[in-house]
Chain A
Amino acid sequence: MQGTGVFQGDSDDLTALKAGDSDAWRVVLVRYGPSLLAYATRLLGDRASGEEITQDSLVNIYRTIDRFDGRCSLKSWLYRAVHNRAIDEIRRRKRYVDVGDQGLEDYFNAAGRWRHDCPGWDGLAAKQLDDKRLLGKVREQMDCLPHAHREVLFLKEVEGLDSAEICAALEISPGNLRIRIHRARAALRAAVVEA
């Protein structure tokens, strides 16, 4: 069962992790290591930093596993640790890209109707890029989005975490997640379609 927002593993697994059982930790690293590394790399923008942050985070998780109380899934807890460490590093480098004030309101007049025609492709058949190039463009633009947009898009669309897992990982409410997901998707649409 997934999505209940609580620890889903066998309680023996958690006991083994807390006891420092290296086989249990090896399973965790094999299962989640690749995704955590990909997430850190996406946030930081380069692989070397992603590796360093993932390594540091995992060692720190091992040292602080006693604090894990099972109120969220282990997966969310791992993502939260990597996320917080990565954001600290990005802020330390003064590279954190915040979400701008520009919103959807620009499209509409005071009556809530389109001010001009919707920009971008006019229907799917009119698009000029083939699917492979378009996918490349989407990927490229995802990496250029503000961090607050990038993190929710990556966790939801690429890693496939459910809403409860993302809320636990980012420590945000379901309502806040819905708003952030929508804004992130809208920003990605604008970056891909209107660029």
Chain B
Amino acid sequence: MVYIKCRDVVAKISDIIDHEASLMTRMRFYGHIMMCKNCRRYFDQFKEVHALAGKVTADDLPPDFEQVMGAVMDEIEGHKDA
């Protein structure tokens, strides 16, 4: 199997996470990760932060959300009546 450098392993992590890497790339990637402590640590950190980013939710709706959308509806209905 062709050797893959640490820099290239790190560059492929998003493709691995998003399941967009080819079978050969995955084999090289995980083969390298097994052997390289630093890349393994980076990969673990990257995966954990990625998982946490997925748990960030959109801000709660502001109390005047209805008012914000109401103003848009007023414009729409006003334009229609005009």
Task: Name A's B-contacting residues (CB within 8 A).
Answer: 20, 22, 25-26, 29-30, 33-35, 37-39, 41-42, 47, 51, 54-55, 58-59, 62-63, 104-105, 107-108, 111-114, 117-118, 120-124, 127, 131, 134-135, 138-139, 142, 153, 157-159, 178, 181-182, 185-186, 188-189, 192-193
Which one of B13, B15, B59, B73 lies within 8 Å of A25 (CB-CB)? B73
A22 touches B52 (CB 8 A): no
Chain B residues, Cβ within 8 Å of A58: 69, 72
Contacts of A55 in B (CB 8 A): 68, 71-72
- Which residues of chain B come closer than 8 Å to A186, judged between CB atoms? 10, 13, 46
Residues of chain B with a CB closer than 8 A to A192's CB:
49, 52
Return the contact of A105 from the options B7, B41, B54 (Cβ within 8 A).
Answer: B7
The answer to whether A20 touches B79 (Cβ under 8 A) is yes
Total contacts A-B at CB 8 Å:
144
Asked whether A182 lies within 8 Å of B56 as measured between CB atoms, the reply is: no
**Is there an interface contact between A178 and B7, defined as CB atoms closer than 8 Å?**
no
In the complex, which range does the number of interface residues on chain B fall in?
A: 35 or more
Given contacts A58-B72, A157-B54, contact A178 B14 (CB under 8 A): yes
Give the chain A neighbours of B58 by CB distance below 8 A: 34-35, 38-39, 158-159
CA distance A6 to B37 in the complex (A): 44
Q: Do B73 and A22 touch across chains, with their CB atoms under 8 A apart?
A: yes
Mostly helix, strand, loop or mixed at chain A's interface?
Answer: helix
Cβ A188 vs Cβ B49 within 8 A: yes
Contact of B53 among A54, A120, A138 (CB under 8 A): A138
The docked-state distance in angstroms from the alpha carbon of A29 to that of B67 is 12
Whether B7 contacts A104 by the Cβ 8 Å rule is yes
Does B56 lie within 8 Å of A107, measured CB to CB? no
Interchain CB contact under 8 A, B76 and A25: yes
| A182 in contact with B14 given A47-B62, A55-B68, A157-B54 (CB within 8 Å) | yes
